[in-house]
Amino acid sequence: MRGSFQALRTIPFQTSIRPKSTKGRAKRPKMASQNVASADDFGEHVESTSVPGKQSTERFPRSSRPNAFTELMRHKPTAQEADKPTQKTVFAGRDGLAAYTIDPESFPPTRVVYHNERFVVINDLYPKASIHLLLLPRDPIKNVMRPQDAFDDAQFLEDCRQEEKKVRATVASELRRRFGKHSASDRPRIEAMESDDPPDELPPGRDWAQDVMSGIHANPSMSHLHIHVLSKDMVSEPMKKRNHYLSFTTDFLVGLEHFPLAKDDYRRRYTHFPEDMLCWRCGENFGNKMSKLKEHLAMEKEQWIRE
């Protein structure tokens, strides 16, 4: 079932600056001890996500289950109230993504891009780039595990990789649709398409797939496993804090090609972000000056689009 991309405001962009890979065990880069690495931003957490009907919480994390005291004090619905068709199951805070995997059809196409038996793809509610999708596995056992542990399962990892390829292609196609007319690399292709006598084989044009990145956060902000697939530009209104930027432009974002991780790989328990924010495209160091970085990213995005 397919939906549509959420309308997003355009903003500047940044590229991922990551340490060079090393053979064998991944070594930890120097980090600033005071900057604990986390993608958390409680100001952005959805208070609750609800779906119609009653759903069992037994397969979800204990954090989503009511405790005995809560149940004792809760208003007990009458038989008449319990039969109301408007009842909903609420997934609060960190468990909010569960609602999409339980009943994706209950959400509008502006939220759910597509879904199948094993996966749901949604527009991120707080996108950190021009296009930002989340790939949600629906396996009720795997999707409550830390991704570093879930991806130790070779078959599950391969299933996620194959679906991720489809989502990356979707993002690349949307980038071409939005920005292709402004790209010098895409101009020959567009001119050929719009000519009175278009050729049988169009010029390849710009490879927008190179402008897509994906991976999981080493310390996820939500309970249910989700894979970020987004454009490189890092430009959006919700991109407000250092941890927003660093969580996508450092090795805190771990691509699926790196899994399974060694048991002692530091990315299983990532602790600290690097001290400074570097432009993903030109490498300029902005320290901790987020406002100046955002201004710079806006200019970089315009140049990136025109490539």
Contacts of 133 (CB under 8 A, 6+ apart): 113, 121, 122, 123, 124, 167, 170, 171, 228, 229, 230
Residue 235 lies in a domain: yes
Residue 30 lies in a domain: no
Output the domain CATH number for residue 73: 3.30.428.10
User: pLDDT per residue over 267-280, tens digit each?
Assistant: 998 988 888 999 99
> How many domains does the chain fold into?
1
Range of 3-7, 47-51, 239-243 with top mean pLDDT:
239-243
Is the preceding peptide bond at 199 cis, omega within 30 degrees of 0? no
Give this prediction's pTM.
0.76
Reference 122, options 136, 131, 112, 132; nearest CA is 112
Residue 176 lies in a domain: yes
**Quick check: 86 pLDDT over 90?**
no
**Quick check: 173 pLDDT over 70?**
yes
Residue 196 lies in a domain: no
User: pLDDT per residue over 117-157, tens digit each?
Assistant: 999 999 999 999 999 999 999 999 999 999 999 999 999 99
Residue 23 lies in a domain: no
Residue 226 lies in a domain: yes
User: pLDDT per residue over 181-209, tens digit each?
Assistant: 999 999 999 999 889 888 888 889 999 99
Strands, DSSP E only, in 224-276? Answer: 227-231, 253-254
The H helix count followed by the E strand count for the chain is: 8, 8
Q: Which residue range is the domain that position 264 belongs to?
A: 48-191+205-306
Residue 289 lies in a domain: yes
Residue 209 lies in a domain: yes
Reference 160, options 136, 124, 141; nearest CA is 136
